[in-house]
Structures are given as structure tokens and as C-alpha cells.
Amino acid sequence: MRETTASAVAPRLRAVQPPRSAASHREREVIAAFSEITTEAITTTRLEDLLGLLGKQLCHLLGVTRCSVYLRHEDDRFRGAAGYCEHEGDISAAVQTQEAGIRGDRFSREVIETAAPVLIDDVRRDPRPHRRTMEHWRVRAMLGVPLVFDGKVIGLIFVDNVEQEHVYTDEDVALAELFARLGALFLRQAMLNAHLKRKAAEVVRQKNMLAHLADVHQKLTNAVLDGASIQTVVTLLGELSAKPVVLYNEDFQVLAWSAPPGLKMTEPPVLAPQVRELPSVRRTLAGLSASCPSAVVPRTLAVGLGRRHLMCRLVIEGQPSGYVGIVEVGRSLEHRDSKLAEHGATVLSLQILSERRQAEAEGQAREDYLSDLLHNTRDAEQLVRRSPQFGIDLTRPHVLVRFSLGKADGHVSVSAGRRLVIQQLAAALGESDPAAVSLPGAVIALVPLARDAAVPESLRDTISGVREALSPVLNIHTAVISAVCRAPEDFPMAHKELREVEELARSFDWAGGVLTADELGLFRVVAASGRVKEAVHFAHGFIGPLRAEDDGTLLSTWRAFVRAEGKVQATATELGVHENTIRYRLGKIRKLVQRDPATLDCLLQARLAFQILDLAGW
């Protein structure tokens, strides 16, 4: 076994100097080899090709058949870069899977640490090389030479004779070291050239990117200036990216989407709920911010996500307001797609904000118009003429619905409460958004009816459903439906009646649901006199004799008889009993209350008494 390092080589060279003519001949070979390498470098742009040529020339100089070249990377690890074998040709692909200086490879580490050649005559008996690697490559003797530049090892060259012994003389080792020093200079220059080429390519790429973004900016800006809708902008983004684009709101509902015509998509490729619930996806979306506005959600086949999604945050007035998604279909997602999504998100945020401001202005104008209608502050003819511009047709009959709001929960503003009422009413009625106005403690909505129609029986149930649906977010005390309004002059009176009914309900602390102005009838006149306590006393006195002797049957029969306007047959049908049963019960009622329940006067008094007791919660 023989080991040669730089410190060992020099003394031997001094002790046994080869003939000057032989040394000069070998040096001329080195110069000739580098002349060929320099010529090749002019036409070769790939660093790997130049490294392979370096190794190949060293093999020819030393009379061996194989070499492998390793480069130092920024993490100080030496990875395979190129290789050559006389019998196999280019073996760079196999070398590039290797790494030098790893655990168990003392041979490579010694070359790196000493920055000098290291020779192993008998690999099988030397403990320093990585055993399995040497067996795999069938190495018998090997010379490791460092490529040293400015005192730092920047690469390694290993040479050997495949499966054959080879004797490396001191002159071979010295020649290899000289070749490596020149090679390091050449390599460093080549690396600098490659770095400059990469920089130049990056400058060109950035220039192209800026030109692309300028084109994107111009097209998006022109579209907005031309009055393009949000859908048009999303379609333009799809054309510019040549990929599907989806606009989500904050709850991941699709607001708009577009796909290039060639993809023939009928539904938007969305992020499904099961995908969004993945911890990795939740972290990715949560990490989006002003400094990191976009990120890629990777494919996750386990939950059915077969394509990558580039997601970009929309921020409106400092608040997260949705996402723009670009889906990887066809061409892979690139850096320019991120820039396109971010630019598109900015334009869409401004456009959504503009539409929101416009809607608020239109809503305020509509609210002002409704206020004029309710308070009779404009000429009737002018109100009719202006109504179409606010989406109101005063030639149709309408009713007013007053939602009386209790003490607010604190997180819903007046305008937000009005919007909630409008949205829920529109959904329940199947109509476009009705006009509504906010008043202190109330929201009044204008509900259109079919032409020449009375208040439908189903409207009470509809308003009750709206009240119930809004109860989690709005504290609605009562909801009152006005009489039908058929002309502008009817609305101020209907508005006044709604106020009176609400005040009446509040005086009885009634929060039972929905009232209509018509159903209170005579009781409104009594209540308007301010004698509410006397009215309650009257009701109790009127019904009292019946309560003392009844289990509830007679009272329910009397209520049904009043609702049926004194008709025995209708009362029997409602209660599901025979007419004679109704007559028998009415006879018992007559005896207990000492008055005939079938007379008009008694019917009116009973109706008034029942209304009072209902409002009082009895």
C-alpha cells in the first residue's frame, strides 16, 4: 500500500528528478491538453461538458481509462458533475447520482482537508474509501486530485483503470497536481462565465416579464376603463393565462369563473371543502398576506385534487375579501402566473370596491325616495314618474312591512341590518331586492303584490319565516304588515298605521311575531284613546265568567265562532265537529256570559276582547 500527498511528493521529486527533457515533454502535453480544452470551451456552453473534457484529458495524460469530476456547491457538499470512461464513453449521468466526502468516505475527505492529491494503490485493502462504492465501480487503484482555487477546494477529480491495477509514479501525481491547478483556474473562469450567462439570461427573462406585465396592465386597465364587468375581467385573466380562473368570495362561493374555450369546461374547477380542510392547505391560505399575496396549493390525489391551484388573496379596504385562483391545466404554473394573479387580484379588488360604493350610493338614493314616499314630501305625480329608476312600479299594489328592532346585539350596524332584511325578503318572495328604509329602531320594506290583489294569506307566513331566519343576527321585536297601498297617497297613511300598531304592541309588551294592520280593527281606535288599562279590564270582565267554568273547550269554540263571523257551519268545519255540537256549546256560552254570542254587538265586543287578550299575552 502506498499513499502520496503534496507534502510527500515534493521531497521525492527533489531526490529523484526525472530528466529535464522528459519533464518538459510532459509539461508540453499538459499545455497541449489545455489548448484543446480552451478551443472546446469556445463552442461548448454546458459546464458539465467542460468538466467531462477536463477529466478525459487527465485520463489521457496519466494513461488510465476512467474519471469522475465533483463540484462543490453552496452547501459545501461535493456532488457528481461529469464522468468519462474509455470503454463506455460519457458516464456523467451515473456520476451525478454520487456524492463525495459523505459518511464512511475518508478517502474523499482527506483530499478535501489536505487540498492535495491522495493515492491509494490497493483499494481492496485500504480502509479509507467507501467500500460499497468501490465495489460497485470495480476500482483497484485510484488517484484523487483536488481542484484548488484561492486556497479553497472547489472540485475533485478521481481517476482509475476499470478493474485493473495501475501504478502511479511520483511524476504522475505531480503532473496530475499541476493539471488540477490549471484546471481549477480554467474551471473558476468557466463558472464565472456560466454565472454571467445566467445573469444575462435572468436579465432577459426579467425584461420579458416586465414587458408581459406591462401588456397585462394595459389590457386590464383598458378593460376597466371601458366599463368591463367583473366577469369580463375574469375572462380576460383566463385568456392571458391560458388557464381556468376562478373568483371566490371569503366563504369560497364562486363569484365568477372562466376557462379557455378549448378546455370545454362546464363547471368551475374549485377547491372542494375536503381540500380546504387539509392542514397543509389551511396553512397555505392562512399564510397569504400583503408580503406573500399568492401561493400554490399542491396536488393531493387522496382527496381528489388532481391539479395545482395558484391562490391569490383579495384585500378590500384592509379586509380579506376573497381569492383569485388559477388552475394548472395544460402549461405548468410559472412565476408570471403569480404576477398575473396578483395584478388581477388588485384590479378585481378595486372593481369590487367601486361596485360596492356604487351599490351603496344607489341604495341611499333608493332609501331617500322611499322616505319621500312614506312622509308625503314630494308631489304624487313626481313620485310615480321617478319610481322606475329605483326599480319600483307604483302602478302595482304594495304593502309596507315594518320590522321593529329590539336592542341590538352590538355587531350589526343599521345599514347592515337593512341589507340583511332586504336580502332575506328577496329570497323569501322570489323577487328582486325590495326597497327598504332604516328608521330609528325599525326597518320598513316595500313589498309588491300581484296587480289588483289583496294581501295574500301566505304573506303573513312569509314574513314570519323572514323574521325567524333573521333572528340569529337581528333582534326583531315585531313585524307588522300594512293595508294595501294602491296610490302614492296611501303610503303616508299606511306608514302612520304601522307606527300605531307597533306602539300598541309595545304597550302590551307583545313580541308574538307578525301582525297586520287590518286585523286589529276597532281595537286600534280604542288604543288610540290612551285607555289601554281600561281596555284590558274590559276584556277580562267580558271573558271572565266563561274562564271560571270552562276547561278551554268553550273558549276555543267562541274564538273560532268569532273568526267565522258568526257562522255555525264554518265553525264546525274548522273545529272538526258536528254543527249541533257548536250550537250546544254556544248555548252554554250564552248562559255563562249572559249575552247571545251570535248577535252583531256581541261578535264585535268578543273580537275586541280576544285581540286585547292576545296582545296582552293571555
Residue 227 near residue 355, CB atoms below 8 Å: no
Sheet holding 254-258, edge to edge: 254-258, 245-248, 319-327, 309-316, 294-297
pLDDT above 70 as % of the chain: 85
> pTM, whole model, 2 decimals?
0.48
pLDDT at 8 over 50: no
Which stretches of 408-566 are assigned E, i.e. beta strand?
A: 436-439, 442-448, 476-481, 514-516
Q: Quick one: cell of 118?
A: 491522495
Give the pLDDT mean for 317-335: 89
H or E element, residue 276: helix 273-276
Question: Which residue has 306602539 as its cell numbers?
Answer: 503
The pLDDT-based confidence of 19 (bands split at 50, 70, 90) is very low
Q: Where are the alpha helices (DSSP H) in 376-489?
A: 380-386, 414-429, 458-470
H or E element, residue 524: helix 522-528
Determine which of 52-61, 384-393, 495-504 has the lowest per-residue pLDDT on average. 495-504
Give the pLDDT score at 9: 36
Query: pLDDT digits over 548-603, tens only?
Result: 677 778 888 888 888 888 888 988 888 888 989 888 888 888 888 878 888 877 88
pLDDT at 5 over 60: no
Mean pLDDT rounded to a whole number for the chain: 82
The pLDDT-based confidence of 2 (bands split at 50, 70, 90) is very low
Dihedral over alpha carbons 78, 80, 84, 85 (to 10 degrees): 100
H or E element, residue 97: none
Give the pLDDT score at 7: 38
* 243-256: burial string, b at 16+ Cβ within 10 Å, e else: bbbbbbeeebeebb
Long-range contacts of 328-333 (CB under 8 A, 24+ apart): 328/243, 329/243, 329/244, 329/259, 329/263, 329/269, 330/242, 330/243, 330/263, 331/242, 331/243, 333/296, 333/308
Q: Is residue 329 helix, strand or coil?
A: coil
Give the pLDDT mean for 31-60: 74
